[in-house]
Amino acid sequence: MSVAGPSLQSLDVLIIEDNHDGADSLALLLQHYGHRVRVAYTGPAGVRSALDDPPDVVLSDINLPGQSGLSIARRLADGLPAKPLLVAITATRADELADRARDCGFDHFFVKPVDPVELSELLADYAERPGRPL
């Protein structure tokens, strides 16, 4: 499998994931692509981080203890001056869950493990999108 190289345009990415190894691995991958990355290991910490310093992109697990990724998406979609790109990442393969995630404000839905090429292409497309919030 080929992994795309660093992006031409850096994004501020917030990862909200309770699996420390998974979150840290994803952070390293995105840093390799040239993005600025921060990690929150709980839903409440992720929401605080996003509200204190709004990111361009949020990658959030859906099945988090204490606060689901679905409620995080609703909170961030409503509570930030400019909605970030919201990407759901989950181990659950249910189409119904993907539909619920979109209804709550997620823009994309990935099943773990996330394909690094698909993720890097999504972020590159978003970074180049005309009129995207800066």
Separation CA 70–CA 106 (nearest Å): 8
E strands, 1-134, in order: 12-16, 36-40, 57-61, 85-90, 108-111
In this predicted structure, the answer to whether residue 104 has a pLDDT above a threshold of 80 is yes
pLDDT band at 53 (very low <50, low <70, confident <90, very high): very high
Amino acid identity of 23? A
| Mean pLDDT of all residues belonging to the chain | 88
Q: What is the mean pLDDT of residues 121-128?
A: 92
Q: Over 60: is that where the pLDDT of 52 sits? A: yes
Sheet with strand 36-40: strands edge to edge: 36-40, 12-16, 57-61, 85-90, 108-111
Report the pLDDT averaged over residues 74-84. 90
Rounded to an integer, the average pLDDT of 17-46 is 96
The whole-number pLDDT of residue 131 equals: 61
Which pLDDT does position 97 carry in this prediction? Answer: 83
For the chain, domain boundaries: 12-127
pTM of the predicted model, to two decimals? 0.89
Judge contact between 11 and 56, C-beta under 8 A. Answer: yes
CATH of domain 12-127: 3.40.50.2300
**What's the pLDDT at 2?**
40
